[in-house]
A and B are shown apart, each in its own frame.
Chain A
Amino acid sequence: MTCRNCKHEIAPSEIKCPICGAENPFGIEHAKNMKKHEAAFSKTEKDVAASTGMVIAVGTRAAILIVLLIGILLMAEIGNRNYEDPHPEIEVQEDAVKNAAVYAEQMDDLLKNGQYFDFMCFVFTHDIAMVDAPEYDGLFPIRSVANDYYQCIRGLEEMILRSTDPDYFDGLDTDISNFCMYLESFLTNAENMKSRKQKEEYPRYMDEMLQEMKAALKTYLAMDDVALEEFLEQSKAQKAVELERILRHE
Chain B
Amino acid sequence: MNKKVKVILNVLIGVACVFFLVYMINMFSSFKYRAEQEKKKDTLEVDISLFEYKLRHKAYNEILSSYHVDRLDGLEVPKGYEDIFRTAEYAHTAFMRKIYEAEKNEDQVRACTERMQNLKKDMGKYKYTADEVEEILRNAP
A residues at B contact (CB < 8 Å): 51, 54-55, 57-58, 61-62, 64-65, 68-69, 71-72, 75-76, 78-83, 86-87, 114, 117, 121-122, 124-125, 153-154, 157-165, 167-168, 175, 211-212, 215-216, 218-222, 246-247, 249
Contact = CB atoms under 8 A, between A and B. Distances in A.
Contacts of B62: 158, 163
B119 interface: no
B98 interface: yes
Contact of A65 (B3, B13, B64, B105): B13
B91 to A, nearest CB: 6
B123 interface: no
Given A82-B34, A125-B71, A157 B95 contact: yes
A250 to B, nearest CB: 11
Contacts of B54: 163
Given A82-B33, A219-B99, A247 B2 contact: no
Contacts of A117: 96
B114 to A, nearest CB: 14
| Residue among A161, A163, A218, A219 with most chain B CB within 10 A | A161
Interface residues of B, number: 53
A55 B64 CA distance: 73
B102 A215 contact: yes
Contacts of B68: 121, 154
Given A68-B17, A83-B30, A161-B64, 9 more contacts: A54-B3, A65-B9, A68-B13, A81-B30, A121-B75, A157-B92, A158-B62, A168-B59, A247-B141
B126 to A, nearest CB: 15
Given A58-B5, A219-B98, A159 B61 contact: yes
Given A54-B6, A82-B34, A161-B95, A218 B102 contact: yes
A42 B96 CA distance: 102
Nearest to A162: B61
B57 interface: yes
Interface stretch (B18-26, B44-52, B77-85): B18-26
